Every structure is written in structure tokens, then in C-alpha cells.
Amino acid sequence: MASFTEELKKKARESGADLIGIAPIDRFKGVSKENNPSSIFPEAKSVIVIGKRITRGTVRGIEEGTQFDSFGMYGYQWLENRFLAMATFKTAEFLEDNKWEAVPLLNLPVQIPAMGIPVREDLPAPNVLVDFDAAAVRAGLGEIGYLGLFLSPEYGPLQRFQIILTDAPLEEDKILKNEICDRSAKLRKFCPLGAFSGKETVIDICGKKMLTIGIENKKCAECKNGAVPNRYHPSGSPDRLGALCSRNCIDYLEKNGKLSRKFVNSFRKRKPWQVITNIAVLEEGSEIE
């Protein structure tokens, strides 16, 4: 299946995918049935994770405090619902055209409670919700960073994912061995509200161990520095990809040469703005070198 796997990846990229990784279903052993892709498609042999970049310039508008609507459209609304969805759907069509089943999945927050009852005694209640970031780790696309953000070697935290489940026995990608995040405790200062104040926890995904810090979700939900409420469900975690913590992460990774993509100009040109309360705006924030 090596040649077919390459054809599939080529089709995905031609359809607009910036990232594509493949995990065999065996890498999901031990995942609860409420979050396991096998509960959705028991015959699945492969889990395809497709990623679309968030353009760096879209986030620069938030960084400069001049434009947030662009991130709303090109950071998640159009990006996920049109650009990424089209790449996912075209790849699923390619699989079906080659006589393999394909089940595309939207990235819904795993915190959504069950919305039905099991149709059989041995099945979980719908909907089964897959952790897409963990799936992307299993597909070799990157790692979970210290601050809980998924990081790829190409784009850092700036990408969105969708998934296709298929019964095609595709060639698997290796799990990323190299570390992107240095997991320094000083990264806690990336949040001006002090939301990174929980206990450190090691996440182990298929033998890849990643140290993370606990987040106070209440503080994160109150953030006025670019975070937005989860657009799919109120119980989902806030979207932090445009928030100051994520922008600090981008700046930090670029300055330390951790990303493969390079730019002529630096991401951060001045000290970032920060909102500590609803009325207090600091024109100059702190930076971490």
C-alpha cells in the first residue's frame, strides 16, 4: 500500500492540505470507547489526520491590535468549514473512488457530554468524540506543548485538524521524536492572567512523553487577549490560538529556531498589548527571552 498511500497524500496536498499524517488504528489501543475512533468505525484500519495552516499574517493582526475579524474568518470559520473541509472531503472522495470506505470527522470538543443513548449494550452513547490533538501526535505530525497547545515542526501552534477514518491499510507515519517545546517553567508567564498555575502532568501517547502544565479554565475563559469561547459547545475549552499565550509561543519558538519555516521579519515587532481586566489595558507587556 506504499504507492497508494503516497497517491493519497499527494491528492490531499493538491486539495489544500498543508499537513497529513497517518496512524494505524492500533495506536488507539487503551483509549476509552467514548473517545476511540474504533467506536465510530469498527473496521477502520487507519486514521488520517489532515491539517490546514493558520497563516501567520492572520495572527499578526491580533498581535498588533488592528484586526481580529480576519482571524475569525481565516483562523477558524472559513478555514475549517471551507478550506480544510474541502481538503478533507476531496481526500475522502479519493478513498471511495478507490473502493475504500472513508468517514470524515469534524473536530468537536471532547468535553461535550453524551447526547443520546447507546443503540446496543456494548456501545458508548453518541456522540463519540476523538481527541484530534492526540490523534495528530499518533499520526506523527507533532507534539502537545507545555502549555497544552498542539505544536507542529512547521507551524508551531498555527493549524487546525480534521480526520478521516478508513478501512484502507495505509502506510503509517512515524511518531515525531524531536522535541519542539523546551517545556521550561518560565513559559507559565505567557498568560498575563496566571492561568498556567496547575500541576505538571506527563502525557504519554504511544511512548512519546510530553510534560504539560495544568490550566485554570475559568481564567482562560475570561481572557480578553485574543481567546474566544469554544464555537461548538459552551463546555468546550476556549480557543486560544489567537490569544496572547499562543502568540507568545509563536514568538518564542521562532526566536529559538524551533520551527522549520522561516520569515524575513520577526513575528513580534514591539512589546505586546495585554488586557488584565475588562478596563485595564497595558500598552507594554512583559516579554520572555
Q: What is the pLDDT of residues 94-125, one digit of tens each?
A: 999 999 999 999 999 998 988 899 999 889 99
Name which of 156-165, 197-206, 223-232 the model is least confident about: 223-232
Q: Which residue has the cell 470507547?
A: 33
Query: Average pLDDT of 11-38?
Result: 98
At residue 193, does pLDDT exceed 80?
yes
More confident residue, 156 or 235: 156
Confidence band, pLDDT 50/70/90 cuts, at residue 289: very low
Sequence spans of domains, the chain = 2-282
pLDDT at 279: 46
Which region, left, alpha or beta, applies to residue 52 given φ > 0 means left and ψ of -120 to 50 means alpha?
beta
Decide: residue 130, CB within 10 A, 0-12 exposed, 13-18 middle, 19+ buried: buried
Residue 136 to residue 161: CA distance in whole angstroms:
8
Provide CB contacts within 8 A for 191, sequence distance 6+: 219, 220, 223, 244, 245
pLDDT at 189: 95
List helix spans (H) across the chain. 2-14, 37-40, 56-64, 69-71, 78, 85-97, 132-138, 217-221, 244-255
- Asked whether the bond before 36 is cis by omega within 30 degrees of 0, the reply is no
Query: Average pLDDT of 28-43?
Result: 97
